[in-house]
Structure 1
Amino acid sequence: MKNFKEIDDQYVAHSYARFPVLIQSGKGVYVYDDEGKKYIDFTSGIGVNSLGYQYEAWVQAVREQAGTIAHTSNLFYNEPMLELAEKLVTRAGMKKVFFGNSGAEANEAIIKAARKYANDHYHGRRTEICTLNNSFHGRTMETLSATGQEVFHQDFFPMPTGFQYADPNLEDVKAKTNEHTAAILLEMIQGEGGVVPLDPKFVQDVADLCKENDWLLMVDEVQTGIGRCGTFFAYEQFGIQPDLVSSAKGLGGGLPIGAALIGEKCEDVFQPGDHGSTFGGNPIVCAGANVVIDTLTPAFLDEVKEKGDYLKSELSKLPHVVQVDGLGMMLGVQFDEMKGIDVVNACLKKGALFLTAKDRLRLLPPLVMTKAEIDEGLNILKDVLSHWEEA
């Protein structure tokens, strides 16, 4: 399609600054454009294609389910959804799950669960949720309001109320919480904020604070979860057990899904009519997600952690790299001079896809990427950085 940019410009809302590439197919950790050019992919669709492209078991499960029944609505049961619910709840050590279609929907669900718990137990006295500055929780009006970055709020006022924003230290969290607080919402790694991990001591202190005050501890695992950081959920590496957890992205393996996991304290908070999602628990999507969950064995997760450590170590050796942050296969790279977007554009020309997070380079490769494939992509990145002054 030679005029794809013109068609997009004429017919699609201008809410994305796209790269000038029309991706037509993918295999393993590679994608191919409309001219047949091959790219090694360190983006996995912003963390969605966790098993890469054309993962055989995933394709088979999705294809078989599509040939059986595509949609039923939540007025009826469907088997893939029930299987996925049991697997997710069991793996997470939670009690219930609500299915939606995206990370924003998953965050909306846990926000609603927190507010209903507060109203059920404190009858309108607890109305605020504390989130962190530099956080990101979604693009709906409510999750945008929960996001602790003013740049995302501009032009959309008036914003929904009921959120306080604290810096990631215990003193400021205590200053921004009070008798009106219902919950605290955290990302273990602030992905859109620049791939910035929270300090484990701070996370544990916040968890203790929540227990002391009967505040709900909420964790946004939309980007960090489902094996991305080397454990099923990133919070497992921080020694906490949240009351509410949001998940999405990598869970579907390429299809849209969101999951709000609900712990014991809130397991009965939703009653019929309290919340809903027409496509939530869709059989085709859940069939694919079941394959993703089944693939994330302890051995597989150990490999993700090992490959992530290797990737982090090798990145730190590259020219112009001053800092590498993150866990597992979710990493952010800070350069001494150049911006992440300039590096992304240079690598794109040479056949490697990377992401940005603020001024950093962000890496979210498929979890199935091998060390040899990691080296292939790093060699392109090294070439770009080594010849930066010549560019």
Structure 2
Amino acid sequence: MITHRELFLKNVAQTSDFPLALEFERAEGIYMYDKTGKGYIDLISGIGVSNVGHRHPKVVEAIHNQVDKYLHLMVYGEYVQSPQVLLAEALCKTLVHSAGAKPVLDNVYFTNSGTEAVEGAMKLAKRFTGRQEIISCFNAYHGATQGALSMSGSENFKRNFRPLLPETKQINHGNFEDIQKITERTAAIFIEVIGGESGVRVPDKEYFIELRKQCDLTGTLLIIDEIQTGFGRTGTFWAFEQYGFYPDVLLCAKGMGGGMPIGAFIANQNVMGVFKNNPILGHITTFGGHPVSCAVSLATLNVILEENLLNNVKAKAQLFRQLLVHEKIKEVRNQGLMMAVEFEDFDTLKSIIDRAILNGVITDWFLFCDNSMRIAPPLVITEEEIRLACETILEAI
């Protein structure tokens, strides 16, 4: 009989010639289990998704409760659906305390993914400002669809898919001089608070203050991509809270869904209102804001707040830093539990990653920083589990 692995290689589209092809049967907390029952510590949270762990009981309960009521009705139409409404309200409440004098972000457009949130926000920026130029950062990743790919900071990922969108250009993340490249021609700048796929690059706190000033001066929308950093990853619910500024549009996904597919872009009603006319239905989606995904996202948000998961992020990150000391480790960079452990080169790192997987710890590297190990565990990871994971990584080194 043909095995699942053989079917996987035959019928499921591959994006590399060397997939891990690990076959898991269940997952819970920080662990994933294969067919033999062997447990693997998931130190990457499914690439920043499982912030509250795999199959958190309240997430599973939310799925069951919503499935018993209804599934897809019609997402963007005339129906008031409580999962959407309650999640939108809860998201906006997380943003009120940071608003200061800026307009509150109080209007949520739900999507299926982070990439779709990026695409919607690109359209929003062009429509609201009447401008075409979009700026992003070198070595940034905002998604793989053609609009999002146009903003990618790596020509290696773009060259064989050209032509892409015109009027897109890049600046250097954290570089004060490059801020001046934002002008009255610029519709928006899309930027991560912490450079993610560039290998966890943490900017000077003054950088975003100056960036905010330049956007205000030129009438440019400051669009913050918190697809990786949102929902507690860096120790505050949103990473931008630590930098003393407020965005015009906020993007989120990944950890937002507790394991279910969902994303969103959030703005104020004045900005979002441009989708209502010229043309009507300026941005639409069939499944964005699916009721099950929204119910799970709300449960995830509540778990983070009610279980005080933010309180221990800094201490857990510090424990990782204390334990991951070795002559082959060149540097450890982090903001909360978003971490990069740098080695000499990719070959060195890849052999360590492979060895760690054999011993039951899953890590990864970064798209634009392939000599650094990605560590972004579920926020529920315990001190004992951190020690076990680090012991395994050190043994692999």
TM-score (norm. length: structure 2) = 0.91
1:187: how far off? 0.6
1:149: how far off? 1.1
Structure 1 residues 263 and 339 mapped into 2: Cα distance closer, same or farther (>3 Å)? farther
The equivalent residue for 2:234 is 229
The equivalent residue for 2:140 is 135
The equivalent residue for 1:108 is 119
Q: Give the Cα–Cα distance (whole angstroms) in 1 for the partners of residues 115 and 135 of structure 2.
A: 17
The equivalent residue for 1:215 is 220
Structure 1 residues 191-200 or 22-31, which shifts more? 191-200
Corresponding position: 1:88 with 2:91: yes
Q: Give the Cα–Cα distance (whole angstroms) in 2 for the partners of residues 127 and 179 of structure 1.
A: 11
Match runs of 1:172-187 below 5 Å: 172-174=178-180, 176-187=181-192
Corresponding position: 1:8 with 2:2: no
Percent of matched pairs sharing the same residue: 33
Q: Give the Cα–Cα distance (whole angstroms) in 2 for the partners of residues 90 and 270 of structure 1.
A: 23
Answer whether contact 1:242 1:263 (CA < 8 A) is retained: no
Answer whether contact 2:182 2:218 (CA < 8 A) is retained: no
The residue matched to 2:65 in structure 1 has which SS? helix
Match runs of 1:106-255 below 5 Å: 106-119=117-130, 126-168=131-173, 169-174=175-180, 176-255=181-260
1:177: how far off? 3.0
Q: Give the Cα–Cα distance (whole angstroms) in 1 for the partners of residues 323 and 207 of structure 2.
A: 29
| RMSD, aligned CA | 1.7
Answer whether contact 1:107 1:138 (CA < 8 A) is retained: yes
1:265: how far off? 5.5
Answer whether contact 1:243 1:264 (CA < 8 A) is retained: no
Question: C-alpha deviations, 1:338-379, integer Å up to 9, x for none?
Answer: 543222111000111112112210011111111111111111
**4+ aligned runs moved over 4 Å, structure 1:** none
Q: Give the Cα–Cα distance (whole angstroms) in 2 for the partners of residues 312 and 183 of structure 1.
A: 36
Structure 1 residues 182 and 361 mapped into 2: Cα distance closer, same or farther (>3 Å)? same
Q: Give the Cα–Cα distance (whole angstroms) in 2 for the partners of residues 199 and 54 of structure 1.
A: 37
The residue matched to 2:297 in structure 1 has which SS? helix
Question: C-alpha deviations, 1:140-169, integer Å up to 9, x for none?
Answer: 000000111111102101111121111231
The equivalent residue for 2:303 is 295
The residue matched to 2:251 in structure 1 has which SS? strand
Structure 1 residues 65 and 374 mapped into 2: Cα distance closer, same or farther (>3 Å)? same
1:264: how far off? 5.9
Q: Give the Cα–Cα distance (whole angstroms) in 1 for the partners of residues 275 and 91 of structure 2.
A: 18
The equivalent residue for 1:365 is 377
1:101: how far off? 0.6
Corresponding position: 1:352 with 2:358: no
Answer whether contact 2:58 2:303 (CA < 8 A) is retained: no
The equivalent residue for 1:286 is 294
Q: Give the Cα–Cα distance (whole angstroms) in 2 for the partners of residues 339 and 275 of structure 1.
A: 46
Q: Give the Cα–Cα distance (whole angstroms) in 2 for the partners of residues 158 and 240 of structure 1.
A: 35
The equivalent residue for 1:97 is 108
TM-score (norm. length: structure 1) = 0.92
Amino acid at match of 2:239: A
The equivalent residue for 1:40 is 41
Q: Give the Cα–Cα distance (whole angstroms) in 2 for the partners of residues 245 and 151 of structure 1.
A: 27
Answer whether contact 1:245 1:261 (CA < 8 A) is retained: yes
The residue matched to 2:46 in structure 1 has which SS? helix
Question: C-alpha deviations, 1:290-346, integer Å up to 9, x for none?
Answer: 11111222832121232123223332x234111111211110110135543222111
Answer whether contact 1:319 1:382 (CA < 8 A) is retained: no
Amino acid at match of 1:291: A
Corresponding position: 1:375 with 2:387: yes
The equivalent residue for 2:30 is 29
The equivalent residue for 1:384 is 396
Match runs of 1:67-78 below 5 Å: 67-74=68-75, 75=77, 76-78=79-81
Q: Give the Cα–Cα distance (whole angstroms) in 2 for the partners of residues 349 and 46 of structure 1.
A: 19
1:18: how far off? 2.2
Structure 1 residues 37 and 278 mapped into 2: Cα distance closer, same or farther (>3 Å)? same
Amino acid at match of 1:293: L
Amino acid at match of 2:360: G
The equivalent residue for 1:389 is none
1:192: how far off? 1.4
Answer whether contact 1:312 1:331 (CA < 8 A) is retained: no
Question: C-alpha deviations, 1:95-150, integer Å up to 9, x for none?
Answer: 1010001110111111111111112xxxxxx2101111111100100000011111
Amino acid at match of 1:79: S
Which ranges in structure 1 are unaligned for 5 or more consecutive residues? 120-125, 386-391
Corresponding position: 1:63 with 2:74: no
Q: Give the Cα–Cα distance (whole angstroms) in 2 for the partners of residues 137 and 53 of structure 1.
A: 25
